[in-house]
Amino acid sequence: MSNEQKKRVTGIGGIFVKSNDPEHLRNWYNKHLGFNANQYGATFEWLNVEKPEEKGTTVWSTFKNNSDYFTPSQKEYMINLRVDDLEWLLTELRKEGIEQIGEMQVYDYGKFAHIVDPEGTKIELWEPIDEKL
């Protein structure tokens, strides 16, 4: 696939919000909106339209207000965006003058890297390892 055809972002991987009382906020979302959130958040499963043999997930989770996970952003939320090829995208973003925050992290469920948008919102980029059906 040529670089022009590569997708940069394929969807929303997660939404993370800071809270004075993360447990209370999770319980509120569970009770009133039907989330099934635990200490790690709520996971919503869906099928990839372009690759129907793959099941994807989107996560909603709370963090304590004093969490430094969103740093350097001062915002009360962070968005996780799913990408197909994180290393390629980071190279393209560097060419465009977008600075990566910290090092890329690799786990058994995917690769992660961070950037900051012009408004100061930290964005987590995630190349997931989706479950095959």
Of 93, 125, 130, nearest in space to 112 by CA: 125
Domain contains 6: no
Q: What is the CATH number for 73?
A: 3.10.180.10
Q: Does 1 score more than 80 pLDDT?
A: no
Share of residues in the chain with pLDDT > 70 (%): 95
pLDDT tops 70 at residue 133? no
Q: List pLDDT tens digits, range 70-108.
A: 999 999 999 999 999 999 999 999 999 999 999 999 999
**What is d(CA 86, CA 113) in angstroms, rounded to the nearest whole number?**
8
The model's confidence at residue 36, banded by pLDDT at 50, 70 and 90, is very high
Which pTM value belongs to this model?
0.87
pLDDT at 56: 87
Considering the domain boundaries, does residue 52 fall inside one?
Answer: yes
**61 is in which domain, residue-wise?**
11-132
- Give the long-range contacts of residues 88-92, CB within 8 A, separation 24 or more: 88/3, 88/6, 89/8, 89/125, 90/125, 92/3, 92/8
